[in-house]
Amino acid sequence: MALNLGVIGTGAIGREHIRRCSKVLVGAKVVAVNDINHQSAVDVITSLQLDAQVYDDAHELVKASNVDAILVTSWGPSHEEFVLAAIAAGKPVFCEKPLAVTAAGCKRIVDAEIKHGKRLVQVGFMRPFDRGYRALKEVIDSGEIGEPLMLHCAHRNASVADTYSTDMAIVDTLIHEINVLSWLLDDDYRTVQVVFPRKTSKALAHLRDPQVVLFETHKGTRIDVEVFVNCQYGYDIQCEVVGETGIARLPEPSSVQTRSQARLSTSILTDWKDRFIEAYDIELQAFIHDLAAGELTGPSAWDGYTAAVTSDACILAQKSGQIVPIELPQRPAFYAR
Ligand code: NAP
Q: Is the CB of 130 under 6 A from ligand 1?
A: no
Q: Is the CB of 14 under 6 A from ligand 1?
A: yes
Mean pLDDT value of segment 51-57:
97
Does 1 score more than 90 pLDDT?
no
**Confidence category of residue 273, pLDDT binned at 50, 70, 90:** confident
The closest residue, in CA terms, to atom 19 on ligand 1 is 36
CA of 99 to the centre of ligand 1 (A): 12
Atom of ligand 1 nearest to the CA of 98: 32
* Average pLDDT, rounded, for the chain: 97
Does 52 score more than 90 pLDDT?
yes
Q: Where are the domains of the chain?
A: 3-123, 131-271+306-335
Per-residue model confidence as pLDDT tens digits over 2-42: 999 999 999 999 999 999 999 999 999 999 999 999 999 99
The closest residue, in CA terms, to atom 3 on ligand 1 is 11
Q: Is the CB of 11 under 6 A from ligand 1?
A: yes
What topology does CATH give the domain 131-271+306-335? Dihydrodipicolinate Reductase; domain 2 (3.30.360)
Mean pLDDT value of segment 116-141:
98
CA of 96 to the centre of ligand 1 (A): 9
Cα(159)–Cα(229) distance, rounded to whole angstroms? 6
% of residues, the chain, pLDDT over 70: 100
Q: Which H, E and C letters describe the chain, residue by residue?
A: CCEEEEEECCCHHHHHHHHHHHHHCCCEEEEEEECCCHHHHHHHHHHCCCCCEEECCHHHHHHCCCCCEEEECCCHHHHHHHHHHHHHCCCCEEECCCCCCCHHHHHHHHHHHHHHCCCCEEECCCHHHCHHHHHHHHHHHHCCCCCEEEEEEEEECCCCCCCCCCCHHHHHHHHHHHHHHHHHHCCCEEEEEEECCCCCCCCCCCCCCCEEEEEEECCCCEEEEEEECCCCCCCEEEEEEEECCCEEECCCCCCCCEEECCEEECCCCCCHHHHCHHHHHHHHHHHHHHHHHCCCCCCCHHHHHHHHHHHHHHHHHHHHCCCEECCCCCCCHHHCC
Q: Is the CB of 12 under 6 A from ligand 1?
A: yes
- What pLDDT is attached to residue 14? 98
- What pLDDT is attached to residue 117? 97
- What pLDDT is attached to residue 130? 97
CA of 222 to the centre of ligand 1 (A): 34
Q: What is the value of pTM for the model shown?
A: 0.95
- What pLDDT is attached to residue 188? 95
CA of 14 to the centre of ligand 1 (A): 7
Q: Is the CB of 128 under 6 A from ligand 1?
A: no
Q: Choose the residue to mutate in 8, 13, 80, 311 for probing ligand 1, maximizing ligand atoms within 8 Å of C-beta.
A: 13
What topology does CATH give the domain 3-123? Rossmann fold (3.40.50)
Does 337 score more than 90 pLDDT?
no
Per-residue model confidence as pLDDT tens digits over 248-259: 999 999 999 999
Does 148 score more than 90 pLDDT?
yes
Per-residue model confidence as pLDDT tens digits over 94-115: 999 999 999 999 999 999 999 9
CA of 12 to the centre of ligand 1 (A): 7
- What pLDDT is attached to residue 222? 98
Q: Is the CB of 73 under 6 A from ligand 1?
A: yes
The closest residue, in CA terms, to atom 42 on ligand 1 is 13
% of residues, the chain, pLDDT over 90: 98
Per-residue model confidence as pLDDT tens digits over 200-240: 999 999 999 999 999 999 999 999 999 999 999 999 999 99
CA of 179 to the centre of ligand 1 (A): 20
Q: Is the CB of 43 under 6 A from ligand 1?
A: no
